[in-house]
Amino acid sequence: MYRKEKLHLLVTSALFAASITVVTAYMLHIPLPTGGYIHLGDALIYLAACLLPVPCAAAAAAIGAGLADLLTAPMWVLPTLVIKAVLVLFFTNRSERLLCRRNCAAVVLAGLFSPAAYALAGCAMAGTMTAFVPQFLGTLAQGVGSGALFLAIAPALDGVKLKARV
């Protein structure tokens, strides 16, 4: 890979990480009564996963979401680093379009995996399985919102040929 292409990937990954941090921690940040909060940062993680190679997308997701948790809920940083990096594995960047069959299925899979993983992490932190359902439901609401946002903006981004430009 040429030096210019490597620099482009590094900068794009860093911009995604920064955007994920800001959107997750501060924009449309809705606290939940059960603890935690709803955000739309996962929509940017899904977009990064569709545009960047897996290592770059995983790094952007983990760093961006990890920094957001460091700023808002530090106890979740370690689970977030793993969970958000795994989310990108459901998506593909090999399709010519953002909205392909695999990425549509990935929205559903990621939307279920993330709440289940966070609920298990919450149970481990609480020391009891009674934390599973409230944590799962709260994170599921956030996953549905992020998935809906991704599914809403992907056709528009496909229309302007974003993948060809990145």
Q: Return the sign of the alpha-carbon dihedral for residues 87, 116, 23, 60.
A: negative
Runs of H (alpha helix) within the chain:
3-25, 41-51, 54-72, 77-87, 101-126, 132-159, 162-165
Q: Which residues make beta-bridge pairs with 131?
A: none
For 76-117, how does the pLDDT look when each residue is reduced to its tens digit (9 = 90+)? 999 999 999 999 999 999 999 999 999 999 999 999 999 999
For 112-147, how does the pLDDT look when each residue is reduced to its tens digit (9 = 90+)? 999 999 999 999 999 999 989 988 988 888 888 899
